[in-house]
Structure 1
């Protein structure tokens, strides 16, 4: 049996004159020779007294040839084949190194080895294949793993995947010619309503293992994460997505996510670049010349607007006003409220405009314009409203050219007539296309199918009908808005609480008059084809 051993090994033998050691070299060069350390462990373990020097000499010589060396005058009790067992401190493996028996002594078998490791407390993971490997090959001195626990499956930490740039740093754009554009700075994470701003990847807790003693082995602890967020956010039904309830911008502060539809800035200038925001914008300081703010909602500026562009889908509030330098453009879908409007290239409101003073600016409001407050001035420029203009003073004693106009611009009336003709022509075209489409459908029903060229004609006609209907809807909307405006101009009026000065031009649609002398506390109305002075 021991002859199967492929590695080098030693074997003690009692003879009549004492104890001998037999050393056998490995069967092939790839296998290791017997080791003195194993021999020393053997004699120490079994309390065998011998000549250590001779034992060492025999082991060294036996690396290359068979050796039989007497090492003691005494004959100890013969020792059978045995194993030195080692249990890993974590209980997940049991190892064994086997040692050969004295010549003529007993060998271990499968059941004895299993009984040994059971005695050590092993209740799970015994590897009979490893035991049989030793029994068949007898590689003494080799480490055999005779039992293995089931390792726990380690889990993974939970984490949050952010769907926006969490390290946003404003950087100016470098143009192709090498110049720096401080207007285009990526300094906001814009989002739309319904956008997923973060995804939660839950922790994987892993699975328990079992050690060789049949004890449960827990996987290492993992990090549990949850969404931390402010208002305007909602968690999806499955708990994995964080969704914005508004359009605006998203930011991360620490590990907390914030979404707002109000953008708050101190100033707008080179440090921010131009602002294009889907929501409301609040500027606590100034808007510097040459920069632009565009918002789908309201815009409020606490400081001064210089020669800048401010465009809002809602209302614009300018607490200090505009020093336009003939370059400012202010446009609101609804109302404009300002301390003053001075030297503006263009001011437009889809609703009303209210300011303490309007100076040397081109101003248009679809509703009314009111210059009230302490000064209540309209001086210079061109100021137009559909319904009403009210001011304390229009013009000044210096005779500065000032135009104030109410009612509908004559060009709008011409546009209304154009739209009538356009809608009439589009209606006729739609009728013709529908007639052609109906004829093709009847032919298809009668014959079961259409020739390829007829089918192509039918598809093209249907596409043209859809495009025509979209064009009609667009023109109808413009037509109704113009007609409503023209209807409102019948009650248009200009009111002056203090004085209207010479140099002022009063306009009602296509009728106008020049103020040639000062008028106090008065109104101007249209009377047929002329402008008439009336009581305030």
Structure 2
């Protein structure tokens, strides 16, 4: 215990001793002891604070109210008394855990004459808070050096990293894709391919990257966050002309020479039939693979292929049907009929019928043709100023695009948007299927209720319940498929007729059931349905008016 009086030079009143007063320390508490003293001068709290500082207690937590009271009572003390006027306080360490337990932060309040915070103190605080994982030793060390901090993150959890789905790396980049992808607006991002690509037996076609399991995460409390494994997918079964490598199960290679075609989950290699031309001498062509005709296809000649059909010359009244794409370097004329599950492209078309599963691209002009595509029709791709769509009827779900539409001297040009007969047919079939599924479920419910009420001597109840569960599962899948079809068909509300130069002559335009009969000239712009279901025309500046 310390008990001493101090001479205080520089005190603002006069030099004096604290007669009958002493300081002592016990258990970290600093006590002021006062004895009654008649000749004690005036004492104030400031003088007592100076005394504490000079006596080595300046870093302690001073009790200012106690000092004021001590100064007051000391002047008129009639009996001895003691007061705690300061105390030694160790540094405090407080750990906060985020509500999601993905981080822990640290507060350090500096010591007041007591022991400073140490790394061990912080670790102990983390342990008491339950923080056992993701601890940042560097952040702890820096906070301890500073001896004061607030909300410093000293532990971090890690989110689970879900696995990646199986991926397929195409090793023949030029191979055409039989399933062009739709963008967010429902338009096809279709790449025009050039000449036919050939591969030989043994050529490497595709590498499969297996799905990954993912990386588990953790919280600062040490709880494990499960990762979702990626969806694994093998190579597609029965890939014509391709096989899995004997040395590497994740490598696909050609088993025959032919034309590589990208399909879901793999690459097929289609055999190629190459002909100089198709006429009476060659006869009609029916081929399981890709057909390449260097010259023309003559009047009434038929070419049917399970793959693509590529024509280097004209199609003069021929009939073409392809399971893939049809590409005609020349024109399509004289009531020729082309039907492709994929795309159709030609330099020009006149008095012809073209039906495409995805898109139709005519480089120059389409005159008096019947064009139908399940997604889009683009005219004038290679002649953006003079390409024309004149007469006939063009039907597409999402887009009809042409520099010039209609002619003052021609007949009516008909444009139909928002139409997708294939989706509509699938919706109709799916609706009928769901009606049957609903009826089957009702019958099973009645049977189960009957067996439950009257008994089940033949043991039919369990089988009926299993059948109901299977029927409900099948119906749920049908509902998901129907919703997907509805979403695809809903995209047709964004259908557009894009005109690069002008609309001239008589043009009848239909967006679903909404029709507009154009009999006046329009410059460059676009036609679409507005929010109220009216066909409007927007010019290049975006100014829109009703189309009449």
* TM bucket normalised to smaller: 0.3 to 0.5
Q: TM-score, normalised by structure 1?
A: 0.44
